[in-house]
A and B are shown apart, each in its own frame.
Chain A
Amino acid sequence: MSLLRFSTAGSVDDGKSTLIGRLLYDSKGVYEDQLASVAKASAGGSGGTIDLALLTDGLRAEREQGITIDVAYRYFSTPKRKFIIADTPGHEQYTRNMATGASTADLAIILIDARNGVLPQSRRHAFIANLLGIRHFVVAINKMDLAGFDQNVYNAILNEFTGFLDKIGAPKALFIPISARDGDNVVTRSERTPWYSGPALLEHLEDVPVIEELERLPARFPVQYVLRPNLDFRGYAGQVASGIFRVGDAVLALPSRRQTTITRIVTYDGDLEATAAPQSVTICLANEIDISRGDVIVPASALPHVSRRFRANVVWMNAKPLELGRGYVIKHTSHQVRGVVRAINYRMDVNTLARVGASKLELNEIGEISVETHHPVYFDAYAQNRVTGAFILIDPLSNETLGAAMIIDIEGKEETRGQVSAADRAARFGHKSAIVAVEDTESALLLERELFDRGANVAVAASPEPGTAQLAAAAGMILIVVGSVPENALDLRRTSTHEAVLKLGRSGILAGHEEQLIEGEGI
């Protein structure tokens, strides 16, 4: 049995609760005593009929006010699949809840009332679902019974909404004419829509492929936890974010950039030959290299972006607005970094799709921002990878989650197409340029090998000529010289290779963290 997560959004009148109630009830996702307690709570109201909205509204305030405030998660299953519904309110003031529900969904059901046609709310839901990277869209045109099951009504909505989905770059949608109240095309195909040849809603939900898509992406393994139960075992625990890792794969650990191979994939139930997203496993590597929580293991052949500056779409979720220059904690996969928002490139008016200038973003507003972090972040564009492209912003003072962001790309990529700067080189090699003097050739070659294996741009100059240092600096290299100590050189003559590497790391020449690069002393 597989698993599908889908989101719905809607308000009181569009039949969302009736649809969910029907899916739950028809698949026995709701129990008799729960129905009875709902009947008890709705007694005195509409009398006789059970209000299915009460099934999904879990908080007292919601039942009292007759509105959905927060995301509720609902569960049902058929013999083919288990389903998790993220059921969210539809009004503009609950945009953040819609985004929350959409963040884990594989599929979005957008409800359109056949009598009212496409409303701003339908567009907003589609926009947010697309922004949060949902790949499968279903447009359920509801209350077809009240529209006489008229194919023209269906076609008009299909044409109008397809145009909108194309405009925002959303995936192609399946349009299903339904009556949630009567059950037409919900679980089984309806005889009242002979002009519709597609599947019923539940059939489609049972058949949509989801997991396979994750496996085709470049492999990513964010390290959550280092397991060292005894001296003989060192493993990196985490959940495969995307792609497939196999024993024997050549991989690179970031930020150390050291290349190694996978020796074991360990689980409680025995070792595996291969692991695919989204399995939680423990990976062992051939070399004892310095990897800690927040690092990521990737294939040597498909690296993610590494940058301190990137652009992202953000949904703001707090009453305190997003402000430029303010320090935020950014949590991205399994690491936290400090960062600031350098620019709000625009605010998106979701109703008109207009890009509006803005100096701050208020609660429930969506915009594109430019972020700068204190340390480099290893990411893919959210459009390619929903795990490594997502982050949340946290207020370091109140600890509240303020916003959710989806990375678009490295900031200023176009600019770097011009002259290659020292900073560009440092960002690529992970170190600044330096000259290191050692005692003899043997030490020089050992150190070179050590640094080279860590991904450094390094060379030994046995007999440096005038101008060699300048050339090495221009190339962003670490130059190892034997014997005489040039001015400004690090002198590592009486240290072991291991200590030398440590020392280089401490002085910021061979460092994973850009902060150290800035403070470190190069040539």
Chain B
Amino acid sequence: MDHLDLLEAESIQIIREVAAEFQNPVMLYSIGKDSSVMVRLAQKAFFPGKIPFPLLHIDTTYKFREMITFRDEFAASIGAKLIVHTNQAAIDDGANPLRIGTQKCCGLLKTRALLDGLAAGGYDAAFGGARRDEEKSRAKERVYSFRDEFGQWDPKNQRPELWNVYNARVDKGQHIRVFPLSNWTELDVWQYIGRENIPIVPLYYAKPRPMVVRGASLIPIEQEFMLQPGEKAEMVMCRMRSLGCSPCTGAIRSEADTIDKIIDEMKLVRRSERENRVIDHDQEGSMEIKKREGYF
């Protein structure tokens, strides 16, 4: 067994354990590459049966249009039940990252929407595709990450987690976030996508796209409000390394238009994956703070 086989076997064990021990699990599906791998692992875990829990997408309405198209086609093709939840009240109030700042915007459209979406479904376990190599506070996260009645994470008081024996016990109102990809790295994910032929959003592949070039950053123009006076879009050969909301996700210059080229690019890359995610850098320790409040 190579490292991908071992990671796969470990993740499937986790997914089955959750399906067996929780009353009402749900899989958070963000449409990104990690979610795509996680869903494939869930398909494998229950084959020849179907995935015995729904997929939940927290839609901020600022996702790339290609993501939404992909999401709907993908969910239908595998016969999964897809639930979409949006903090519509905040959208109606005009929440966007430029107007209210990235921290507040994430707080309302991602964290609040996620907690409301979980409460609405009465879910006691929520799978997420986060990996420990993504960010330093995630390196400390358990596979089963306990959340209290308010969805909060207490990093200093986590349950000890030994072997692959997981403690699934929660009281009413509490839940566990489960991270079956904890031990995967970005390169593992790409190698697995390549090996398994897992469909992914075309935004990951390089092609000429309209971008505003602002210093070293490439800002995709999906939302009108992103254009500052005097700016205009130009075509740049680029791709997305990580997918989030279009106003807060930068592209990288790249020629990698196939999986193999992406894997080669990954082996050489010297910058981290989330560098182009604005929300990770809005303050020191920002991921840890967001996670404490219930962020995914």
Contact = CB atoms under 8 A, between A and B. Distances in A.
A1 B3 contact: yes
Interface stretch (B46-54, B105-113, B218-226): B46-54
Contact of B288 (A28, A60, A224, A282): A60
A279 B271 contact: no
B103 to A, nearest CB: 16
Interface string A59-71: 1110100000111
Interface string B37-50: 00000011111111
A74 interface: yes
A237 interface: yes
B156 A279 contact: no
Given A31-B272, A84-B183, A227-B46, A279 B1 contact: yes
A77 interface: yes
B217 interface: no
A82 interface: yes
Interface in B277-294: 284-285, 288
Contact of A70 (B7, B155, B271): B155
B272 A390 contact: no
B160 A399 contact: no
B13 A103 contact: no
Contacts of A31: 269-272, 275
Given A225-B16, A401-B167, A268 B43 contact: yes
Given A32-B271, A390-B165, A394-B169, A61 B156 contact: yes
A225 B169 contact: no
Interface string A432-476: 000000000000000000000000000000000000000000000
Contact of B140 (A70, A211, A268, A332): A70
A224 B129 CA distance: 22
B136 interface: yes
B169 to A, nearest CB: 4
A361 to B, nearest CB: 15
B98 interface: no
Nearest to A396: B169
Nearest to B12: A280
Q: How large is the interface on B (under 10, 10 to 19, 20 to 34, 35 or more residues)?
A: 35 or more
Interface residues of A, number: 71
Nearest to B47: A268
Contacts of A72: 139-140
Given A229-B49, A267-B47, A280-B12, 18 more contacts: A32-B271, A33-B271, A55-B136, A58-B137, A60-B285, A61-B155, A70-B155, A70-B156, A84-B183, A100-B161, A103-B163, A225-B19, A227-B46, A233-B48, A235-B48, A278-B10, A280-B13, A399-B170
29 contacts: A2-B2, A3-B2, A57-B136, A60-B285, A61-B156, A69-B156, A70-B158, A71-B140, A73-B132, A75-B132, A75-B133, A84-B183, A99-B162, A100-B162, A225-B20, A229-B50, A237-B46, A239-B9, A269-B44, A278-B1, A279-B9, A280-B8, A280-B45, A317-B160, A387-B163, A390-B163, A392-B167, A394-B169, A401-B167
Interface of A: 1-3, 28, 31-34, 41, 55-61, 63, 69-75, 77, 81-82, 84, 96-97, 99-100, 103-104, 211, 224-225, 227-229, 233, 235, 237-239, 266-269, 276, 278-280, 282, 293, 317, 329, 331-334, 386-387, 390-392, 394, 399-401, 404
Interface of B: 1-3, 5-10, 12-13, 16-17, 19-20, 43-50, 132-133, 136-140, 155-156, 158-167, 169-171, 182-183, 185, 187-188, 269-272, 275, 284-285, 288
Please list the 7 inter-chain residue pairs (A to B) with the smallest Cβ-Cβ separation, ordered nearest first.
Answer: A229-B49, A58-B136, A280-B12, A103-B162, A399-B169, A31-B272, A268-B44
